[in-house]
């Protein structure tokens, strides 16, 4: 068996999944409106028990990035009122690490057959599909969380309801470098056969 996967019509999806990687350094251009709609539509094909669709997106770009940066600063000051100018500058500019940010939100629905954890996993699958679709069209992304995803200030500013959780900020754009080394991960290190 070889680690190399040959690309054919039948296994090009396998190759795409096997080669996908995160790109933490992104630049303009981000996805066009058409590309974004295509990516979002493709992402809907995620596992979804009882078809609850327990997710929603917020797309943030242009002036929205300024507003998001201000929320990050507000959170930072609430966490530490003595934050230095440098810390506040870094907080604000975390919103500008990509031309477009998708906020992935799990919108939990009460259902007797679909527990909370299952709905979070379903929403996470949608975000995984977003990353794969972006990679398929030649763009890059990185999925981030951090303190901002759990901040009451950020949640309130973005209009996140009590039954919702921010599961990720997906930064989207053109990779600064596509020559990022890929780390090989063997499935054998994470797989066992039972019994």
Rounded to whole angstroms, the Cα distance separating 116 from 122 reads 10
In a domain, 87, yes or no: no
- CATH number of residue 48's parent domain: 3.40.109.10
In a domain, 72, yes or no: no
In a domain, 112, yes or no: yes
In a domain, 107, yes or no: yes
Rounded to whole angstroms, the Cα distance separating 116 from 146 reads 21
Longest dimension (CA), the chain: 58
Helix (H, G, I), strand (E, B) or coil at 43: helix
Rounded to whole angstroms, the Cα distance separating 79 from 95 reads 18
Rounded to whole angstroms, the Cα distance separating 58 from 104 reads 7
In a domain, 37, yes or no: yes
In a domain, 170, yes or no: yes
The residue range of the domain holding 52 is: 22-60+98-177
Q: For helices 116-136 and 33-43, what crossing angle results, to 10°?
A: 140
How would you classify the pairing of strands 26-27 and 164-175? antiparallel
In a domain, 190, yes or no: no
Find the DSSP H helices in 48-115.
63-79, 85-93
Query: Is the pTM for the entire model greater than 0.85?
Result: yes
Rounded to whole angstroms, the Cα distance separating 167 from 123 reads 8
Residue-by-residue pLDDT tens, the chain, 195 positions:
445 545 555 689 999 999 999 999 999 999 999 999 999 999 999 999 999 999 999 999 999 999 999 999 999 999 999 999 999 999 999 999 999 999 999 999 999 999 999 999 999 999 999 999 999 999 999 999 999 999 999 999 999 999 999 999 999 999 998 877 888 899 999 999 999
Q: How many domains does the chain fold into?
A: 1
Q: Which helix (H) or strand (E) holds 171?
A: strand 164-175
Locate 103 and state its tokens. 């906020």
Helix (H, G, I), strand (E, B) or coil at 1: coil
In a domain, 85, yes or no: no
């Amino acid at each position: 068996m070889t680690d190399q996967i040959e690309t054919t019509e039948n296994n090009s999806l396998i190759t795409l999944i096997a080669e996908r990687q995160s790109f933490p350094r992104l630049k303009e251009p981000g996805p066009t409106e058409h590309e974004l709609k295509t990516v979002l539509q493709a992402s809907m094909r995620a596992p979804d028990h009882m078809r609850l669709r327990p997710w929603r997106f917020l797309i943030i770009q242009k002036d929205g990035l300024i507003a998001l940066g201000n929320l990050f600063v507000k959170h930072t000051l609430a966490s530490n009122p003595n934050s230095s100018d440098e810390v506040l500058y870094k907080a604000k500019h975390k919103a500008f690490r990509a031309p477009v940010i998708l906020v992935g939100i799990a919108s939990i629905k009460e259902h007797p057959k679909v527990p909370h954890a299952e709905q979070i996993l379903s929403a996470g699958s949608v975000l995984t599909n977003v990353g794969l679709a972006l990679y398929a069209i030649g763009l890059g992304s990185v999925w981030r969380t951090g303190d901002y995803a759990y901040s009451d200030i950020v949640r309130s500013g973005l209009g996140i309801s009590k039954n919702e959780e921010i599961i990720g900020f997906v930064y989207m754009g053109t990779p600064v470098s596509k020559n990022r080394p890929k780390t090989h991960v063997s499935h054998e290190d994470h797989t066992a056969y039972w019994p």
